[in-house]
Amino acid sequence: MSVSFERAQSVAIIGGGPGGYEAALAAAQLGAEVTLVERAGVGGAAVITDVVPSKSLIATADAAVAIAGASDLGVQLFAKGKEGKPLKPEIAINLSAVNKRLLSLARQQSDDMRAALVEAGVRIIPGHGRLEGENAVVVSTGPGGTDFDRIEADTLVVSVGASPRELSTAKPDGARILTWTQLYGMSAVPEHLVVVGSGVTGAEFAGAYMNLGAKVTLVSSRDQVLPGEDADAAAVLEKVFKRGGMTVLSKSRAEKVENTGGGVTVALSDGRTVEGSHCLMAVGSIPNTAGIGLEAAGVQLTESGHIQVNRVARTSVPNIYAAGDCTTFVPLASVASMQGRTAIFHALGDIVIPLERRRITSNIFTAPEIATVGWQEKDIANGLINGVCHKLPLTANPRAKMMGIKDGFVKLIAREGSGTVIGGVIVGPRASDLIYPIAIAVERRLTVDQVSRVFAVYPSLSGSITDAARAMHVVDHTVYGG
């Protein structure tokens, strides 16, 4: 759909991550004059230092696990030694080559995104952008640097992302004490990586480096990894971590991390210390909203510095929108992209559907992966909604047996009475792909009976979704809609 104006509307965007990128494309598609200001490169941190390289690293770790576990399927790798005797080779990880490849992939993705914007007619200005009132963006060569461009626009979109949170007692140095953006400078798999923080980022990297062959200790301030996620899913992952040799220190808080020259010492609040070769600090992130003119423009921020936005990504200033991790919405790349498009559709008068948190699909790229959508079992337990759950272990799935899958499950959540699918959890290989049909069911308000009537390939992992839906069927069709 194209939107016609008496004159071309102008849009200025600060930040070229997923939110800014999609906003720029959408605005260009609708015929606006679009300027994008980006300091690091199109794609932002998500592409250059976060999502793309981290998930590429995890894919490498998954490959190492697949090779190591091939013998369970009857596939044996041998090399011939002296006199033709078989030798069982060890799996070796060339981390320098791995890091070079994944950073190259990230740069290629950034270049592809830049090319798409140029082709769409978007003007790209490298530099640091800040707001000047409600209708202008000023660009400089650095934070507080000399101004070299000023862009006036009808609509402004702020998509500046977030950066790793740093603790004063555990300052990252890029050598031994690292943030997740600094991991890719290591030339070899760390001998002993201590990961502080058991949220999504900490769990993903802890699992990846364990599977790459490192000794890993995970310091978790909570009683279980992945606090806030589905409890059954977290329990499966913690079991897999411990089975793989990881040390999980639950209810342990790191107070100080010191670079000792040849390694690190992590001091815990209960007086214990953990010695390692490297430490990854995964203790959250802070929005990159300081010093870019938001307060002066009248944009409302939270105490943490996040930009307050509504369901169409609009801020407290009518013509200023915001997208991505710098906002109060869900910090996911897919959400940032949707916010960017939604903001432009709303600002330029196109059809817009306000974002709904309960329909957002998320995935944790551990091994096994954990994917979720919609309402969760804990919401039922807390009395937030009337619902029923059914969990089906993947060990009951014939394709899983063929693939040697030992861990994981499919969990469907339906509204009590109507049987409408309102949520789901999948734990297993490629859960990020398998969750999609459940996400469609949630989005389109399908019942478990409607889901169960969809043909799934036999044998397939997706068959567990229809199996779970069939198990939730009731004889009284007046209850579940026939």
Instruction: Provide the pLDDT confidence category of residue 290 given band limits of 50, 70 and 90.
Output: very high
C-alpha span between 127 and 136 (Å, rounded): 15
Instruction: Provide the pLDDT confidence category of residue 476 given band limits of 50, 70 and 90.
Output: low
The β-bridge partners of 374 are 423
- Residue 90 is predicted with a pLDDT of 78
Q: How many CB atoms lie within 10 A of CB 31?
A: 15
Instruction: Provide the pLDDT confidence category of residue 235 given band limits of 50, 70 and 90.
Output: very high
Residues 341-366: what's their mean pLDDT? 96
The helix or strand, by DSSP H or E, that contains position 57, with its residue range, turns out to be: helix 51-68
The helix or strand, by DSSP H or E, that contains position 259, with its residue range, turns out to be: strand 254-259
Q: Helix, strand, or coil here: 49?
A: coil
Q: Tell me the average pLDDT of the chain.
A: 93
Residues 26-52: what's their mean pLDDT? 94
Q: What is the pLDDT of residues 393-410, one digit of tens each?
A: 999 999 999 999 999 999
Rg of the chain (C-alpha set): 24
C-alpha span between 477 and 61 (Å, rounded): 47
Q: What is the pLDDT of residues 430-448, one digit of tens each?
A: 999 999 999 999 999 999 9
Record the tokens describing residue 335, joined without a space.
Answer: 């959400």
The residue written with tokens 């990504």 in the block is 313
Burial class (CB in 10 A: 0-12, 13-18, 19+), 372: buried
Q: What percent of the chain has pLDDT over 90?
A: 87
Instruction: Provide the pLDDT confidence category of residue 7 given band limits of 50, 70 and 90.
Output: low
Q: 187 and 319 in contact (C-beta within 8 Å)?
A: no
Residues 336-355: what's their mean pLDDT? 96
Q: Of 44, 296, 34, which is closest to residue 151 (Cα–Cα)?
A: 34
Record the tokens describing residue 189, joined without a space.
Answer: 């798999």
Task: Say whether pLDDT at 368 is over 90.
Answer: yes
Q: What is the pLDDT of residues 176-232, one digit of tens each?
A: 999 999 999 999 999 999 999 999 999 999 999 999 999 999 999 999 999 989 999
- Residue 81 is predicted with a pLDDT of 77
Parallel, antiparallel or unpaired: strands 320-322 and 361-364 = unpaired
- Residue 482 is predicted with a pLDDT of 39
DSSP state of 89: P
- Residue 69 is predicted with a pLDDT of 83
Q: Backbone dihedral region of 391: left (phi > 0), alpha (psi from -120 to 50 degrees) or beta?
A: beta
Instruction: Provide the pLDDT confidence category of residue 481 given band limits of 50, 70 and 90.
Output: very low
Q: Backbone dihedral region of 260: left (phi > 0), alpha (psi from -120 to 50 degrees) or beta?
A: alpha
Q: How many residues does the chain have?
A: 482
Residues 327-343: what's their mean pLDDT? 96
